[in-house]
Amino acid sequence: MKFSVIIPSHNAAPYVGDALASVAAQSTSPHEVIVVDDDSKDNTVEVVKQCGFATKVIQVQHHNAAATRNEGIKEATGDWIAFLDSDDTWMSDHLMHAMEVLSDSDDIAYTTNRRSIYGDGEIEDVPDVPNDTPETGLTYEGFLERFARGAFFSMSSTIIRRSRLLEVGMLDVGFRRRHDIHMWLRVIRGQTWSFDPRLGCTYRRDTPGSISSKVCEATRYYIRALTDAMPEPRSPLELKIIRDASLFAINIALVHGSSDARCQARELAWPYLSLKHQLLYSIMGRLPFLFRLIRVGRRAIRRLRDGSVAPGLRETNTEASTK
């Protein structure tokens, strides 16, 4: 198995050195490391070139993370693509564990649990899927079941057969955000994949200037990604996932969005909402300040009840903060 590591970067000088160091520390060495820099204005490229091991650097001006990753996929010569964001890091046995799991299966993709670190330094080390042992032969429907329960999808813990990525057309550059889940759903449909409960990466949230730092826009792209990757006729579980995403997008727009953002979220989400929710959000859309006040009150009640705010109750949740 030959792992081609693809690292997209944009103004990542403060972080990319750590990402590369985690690649160098792998107990199983990759076949190659490709950094695709998308028009950085800082010294990202210099940091990469000084990392101390062979790294191919491609410089582009796409201003598009999907297109940037695609450049790396096209350049790769390995049979597996191992994604790593420039502000994330791998655990030292990430590639070794992937080789152990994938070598005994016909699966076309592999992903793991991840550790989150927030901008304030807080670490969240809660498994997305609390399995005891790796699983192979998982289906598209199996992923939907996990995803509907809140399982997180992280590019930096994901490894995919290069041939399968080429087969589905790689990442869709029309999705400036949430192209990751759009790609994953297309890759695993009709195929099988592996899940490893061991931590594969540390995922940095809230990175300044990260690709999906605009939360309202990210939620709208999320609905688009789901509806495009889940063509009709849709299963009840697919419909539930789309409906939940639509509710989330409306909520985020009411809390964080401008009037334009609220209109855009409504246009995308409305067809997937129940009549009850359509009525509720019609009222709240005219009184967004009241909606925000209610949310503040609910958070205060949770603090009093629990003594603290659980990571899952942060204002920016997993669906909106993907980079």
Does 31 map to a domain? Answer: yes
Torsion angles phi and psi, residue 136, rounded to 5: -120, 170
Same-domain check for residues 142 and 188: yes
Q: What is the pLDDT of residue 127?
A: 59
Same-domain check for residues 115 and 143: yes
Same-domain check for residues 22 and 171: yes
Handedness of CA 192, 184, 270, 300 (dihedral sign): positive
Q: What is the pLDDT of residue 208?
A: 62
Q: What is the pLDDT of residue 124?
A: 79
Does 209 map to a domain? Answer: no
SS3 label, residue 53: coil
Distance CA 77, CA 171 (A): 18
Same-domain check for residues 151 and 261: no
Same-domain check for residues 250 and 198: no
Q: Could you tell me which residues are beta bridge partners of residue 152?
A: none
Report CA-CA distances (Å) from 253 to 58, 213, 288, 322.
37, 14, 9, 17
Same-domain check for residues 174 and 155: yes
Same-domain check for residues 24 and 125: yes
Same-domain check for residues 84 and 112: yes
Same-domain check for residues 43 and 83: yes
Residue 80's nearest CA partner among 48, 114, 110, 56 is 110
Distance CA 108, CA 126 (A): 26
Report CA-CA distances (Å) from 218 to 94, 180, 211, 224, 257.
28, 12, 9, 10, 12
Same-domain check for residues 42 and 176: yes
Domain boundary among 204, 227, 248: 204
Does 210 map to a domain? Answer: no
Which residues, at least 6 apart from 82, have a Cβ–Cβ distance to it below 8 Å? Answer: 3, 4, 5, 6, 30, 94, 95, 98, 158, 159
Same-domain check for residues 67 and 199: yes
Domain boundary among 204, 237, 260: 204
* Structural domain boundaries enclosing 304: 215-321
Distance CA 206, CA 223 (A): 21
Domain boundary among 204, 229, 245: 204
Handedness of CA 184, 185, 186, 188 (dihedral sign): positive
Digitized pLDDT (tens) for each residue of the chain, 323 residues in all: 999 999 999 999 999 999 999 999 999 999 999 999 999 999 999 999 999 999 999 999 999 999 999 999 999 999 999 999 999 999 999 999 999 999 989 999 999 999 988 877 788 776 556 667 999 999 999 999 999 988 878 899 999 999 999 999 999 999 999 999 999 999 999 999 999 999 999 998 866 654 444 788 999 999 999 999 999 999 999 999 999 999 999 888 887 778 888 789 889 999 999 998 888 777 776 666 665 555 555 655 555 555 543 333 233 333 333 35
User: Computed over its alpha carbons, how large is the radius of gyration of the chain?
Assistant: 20
Query: What CATH number should be reported for the domain holding residue 187?
Result: 3.90.550.10
Task: Identify whether the C-beta of residue 40 lies closer than 8 Å to the C-beta of residue 11.
Answer: yes
For residue 271, cis peptide bond before it (omega within 30 degrees of 0) = no
Distance CA 115, CA 133 (A): 17
Same-domain check for residues 69 and 11: yes
Residue 114's nearest CA partner among 22, 221, 52 is 22
Does 58 map to a domain? Answer: yes
Say how many domains are in the chain.
2
